[in-house]
Amino acid sequence: MRRTYVSPLRRGQYEATRVQIVEAVARVLARGVTELSVPAVAEEAGVSVATVYRHFQSKQELVAGLHRHYADAIDAHPSDLSTGRWGSIDEVLDDLPKAAERMARLEPGLRAAIASGVVDEFRREHRAERLEPIEDALRRDRPNLHSDDLRKLRDLIAVLCSSPGVGAFELLTGASPEEAAATVAWAIRRLLRTL
């Protein structure tokens, strides 16, 4: 029987190259390109096109890798609602100001890349991955919530707790990221109390 072995050094190099490529995606998107190009990413990362494809099979996977990198950096994934990281919506709202603070500390290029049209398209294509965990958490917390109220509340939480939602508060009100997130948490809690 043949055994496959990957040394920790090789695994570390593989992961380092993967991160290098994802960070290159962010820099390319931060320049305002409207379409992502694998050769541009390879050049920015200082690797071959073949190396990019060894790590990511498609442009969509590159954008998904960037999205995961961002979620890791702010320590908040939509799927965390399903995996039991938080026991309730209230716990999510408690953590929101800390996540907003982590967002604000990110490199400006990564923030710009996440705000790009290419990432917006990724969000549209993967909308259910964001909405379903929120809906599941609301069903657990509020089993008697009417379906119309559930959908509207789910959508409000998805928008207000998103990086564009918190960013809009910062831009339009001048609030700090933590203040914006605290206001979002306050509004959602008030709304939950009325339903």
Q: Is 105 helix (H, G, I), strand (E, B) or coil?
A: helix
Residues of the chain with pLDDT under 70: 1-3, 5-6
- Tell me which residue has tokens 């710009």: 112
Domains along the chain?
Answer: 8-194 (1.10.357.10)
pLDDT of residue 2: 62
CA distance 189 to 9: 47
Residue with tokens 């954008």: 63
The per-residue pLDDT for range 114-154, each reduced to its tens digit, is: 999 999 999 999 999 999 999 998 999 999 999 999 999 99
What is the model's pLDDT at position 163? 86
Q: Which of 164, 158, 166 is nearest to 182 (CA)?
A: 166
Q: Tokens for 125, please give them.
A: 């294509």
Q: Is the distance from CB of 93 to CB of 46 less than 8 angstroms?
A: no
pTM exceeds cut of 0.75: yes
Rounded-to-integer distance, Cα 69 and Cα 77, Å: 10
Q: Which two tokens stand for residue 154?
A: 């789910």
CA distance linking residue 3 with residue 189, whole number of Å: 54
pLDDT score for 3: 60
Angle at 32 between CA 26 and CA 166, to 5 degrees: 70
Give the pLDDT of residue 82: 72
In which region does residue 8 sit, left (phi positive, over 0), alpha (psi from -120 to 50) or beta (all else)? alpha
